[in-house]
Amino acid sequence: MTGPVVRRPVETLRGRLPVTVTDEHRVVCPRCGTTSTPALLSSRCPACETPIVRELGGEVRPGAVVPFAVDRRHASTALDRWAAALWFAPESLGRVSDAASMRATFLPAWVFDLETVTRYAGRRGDHYYRIETDDDGRSRQVRRTRWTYARGKVGRRFTDVVVPGVRQLKTGRLPAATVPFRAEYLSGVETPRYTVPPDLALDQAKTSVKPRVRAACLADIGGDDRRLHSVVTTYPSIDGDLVLLPYWTGTYLLGGKTWRFTVDGATGEVCGRRPYSAAKLTAPLVVLALVVLVAVLVLLSR
């Protein structure tokens, strides 16, 4: 079943801080009996790799999951294409997927729908033109601006405002296809708990829509030029939820360093830190230095 994320009133999310994992959160592997205290919502047994899904505690329960549309093979291909397109990358980077460790991961994100009502005050500028004559008797057309006081009220609704629920997530969009959350979807997929509390995420969501609210106010003022002196926004309705987004996350080792990357499990987009080849970086500088040297010698020989 697919469809839009079912939002909850924001009051049901407030104050739900991230869970601090303690010894009381120990789990026993159902296959080998190994006891562990995983910080993740879902992971694998450290002894036998059996998928382990923890019971949800006092944190917010995810409302929806975005399914994986990119499998491991296609994620590896996307990673190799990304590496091949990098300028000044070491030759040894090659097929980076051969040296990369990659795991399926659900990363939590907060998604909000915000209804806004904004009262503003400012000025509207309308251009007009007049003919002026200078001291030499020459006439010219000069543009002037007539300013008038402006005030009004603008209502806007912003949907699918995404705020990462963990620091390593950088996305600002929500894929269209979602399915209602079920705990079994987490089996075999690494899923960290959210570390950004919903109250902070809501503040970030409000901040992210401020430029669009101001733009709406300026458009409402109209005219050829406009100024805003005060903007006061209220939120008659805010709904939100926690959504799990699919990623292939991993690392590869090169040059004695560990490089991290992510492959979007919905689009195949690759993000990550990348190495540079010192030889490739210095080669253009050497060529440039030789060109400059030759040019100087030619000028001196004249």
pLDDT tens digits, 19-73: 665 545 667 777 777 666 666 777 777 767 777 666 666 678 888 899 999 999 9
Please name the helix (run of DSSP H) or strand (run of DSSP E) that holds residue 248, with its range, or none.
Answer: strand 225-254
Are 67 and 180 within 8 A, CB to CB? no
Give whole-number Cα distances, 269 to 53, 96, 202, 262, 265, in Å.
27, 16, 27, 8, 8
Radius of gyration of the chain, Cα coordinates, nearest whole angstrom: 28
Start-to-end CA distance of the chain, whole Å, equals 80
pTM of the predicted structure, to 2 decimals: 0.78
Task: Give the residue from 155, 192, 168 showing the smallest Cα distance to 19.
Answer: 192
Residue 5: pLDDT band by 50, 70, 90 thresholds? low
Tokens of 27: 């789990």
Are 192 and 54 within 8 A, CB to CB? no
Which range, 101-105, 207-211, 262-266, has the best average confidence (pLDDT)? 207-211
Burial of 157 (0-12, 13-18, 19+ CB in 10 A): exposed
Question: What is the average pLDDT value for the chain, to the nearest integer?
Answer: 82
Whole-angstrom Cα distance, residue 5 to residue 221?
35
Whole-angstrom Cα distance, residue 237 to residue 202?
13
DSSP single-letter state for residue 247:
E
Are 221 and 126 within 8 A, CB to CB? no
Question: What percent of the chain shows pLDDT beyond 70?
Answer: 79
Of 298 and 7, which is predicted with more confidence? Answer: 7
Whole-angstrom Cα distance, residue 225 to residue 192?
49
Domain ranges of the chain: 8-19+57-274
Whole-angstrom Cα distance, residue 121 to residue 221?
9
Residue 105 has pLDDT above 70, yes or no: yes
Instruction: Check residue 290 and give its pLDDT.
Output: 66
Whole-angstrom Cα distance, residue 185 to residue 245?
12
Alpha helix ranges (H) inside the chain: 72-84, 198-221, 278-301
Per-residue pLDDT tens for 62-78?
888 999 999 999 998 99
Residue 4: pLDDT band by 50, 70, 90 thresholds? low
Instruction: Check residue 101 and give its pLDDT.
Output: 84
Whole-angstrom Cα distance, residue 104 to residue 175?
17
Instruction: Check residue 148 and give its pLDDT.
Output: 97
**SS3 state of residue 109:** strand
DSSP single-letter state for residue 137:
S
Of 29 and 274, which is predicted with more confidence? Answer: 29
Read off the amino acid at residue 269.
Answer: E
Whole-angstrom Cα distance, residue 173 to residue 176?
9
Instruction: Check residue 288 and give its pLDDT.
Output: 65
Show Cβ contacts of residue 128 under 8 Å, excluding neighbours closer than 6 positions.
Answer: 143, 144, 145, 146
